[in-house]
Amino acid sequence: MIGQAVLRECLLDPEISQVLCIGRTKTDARSPKVRDLVVANLPDLSAVTSELNGIDACLFCLGVSAAGMSEENYRRTTYDLTLGVAATLLEHNPALTFLYVSGAGTDSTERGRTMWARVKGATENALLRLPFKGAYMFRPGLIQPLHGIVSKTRWYRVFYAAFGVFLPLFKALFPRSLLTTEELARAMLEVAKRGAPHAILEVRDISAIKPLVSGNV
Report the distance separating Cα 151 and Cα 101, nearest Å: 15
Rounded to whole angstroms, what are the CA distances from 79 to 55, 100, 118, 202?
22, 11, 10, 20
Considering the four listed CATH numbers 3.30.930.10, 3.40.50.300, 3.40.50.720, 3.30.1490.20, the one that applies to the domain covering 54-208 is 3.40.50.720
> Of 161 and 138, which is predicted with more confidence?
138
CA-CA-CA-CA torsion for 61, 62, 67, 73, nearest 10 degrees? -140
Q: pLDDT value at position 209?
A: 95
Tell me which DSSP letter residue 27 carries. Answer: -
Ranges of each domain in the chain: 54-208
Residue-wise pLDDT for 98-138, tens only, equals 999 999 999 999 999 999 999 999 999 999 999 999 999 99
Q: pLDDT value at position 157?
A: 60
Q: Is the pLDDT of residue 188 over 60?
A: yes
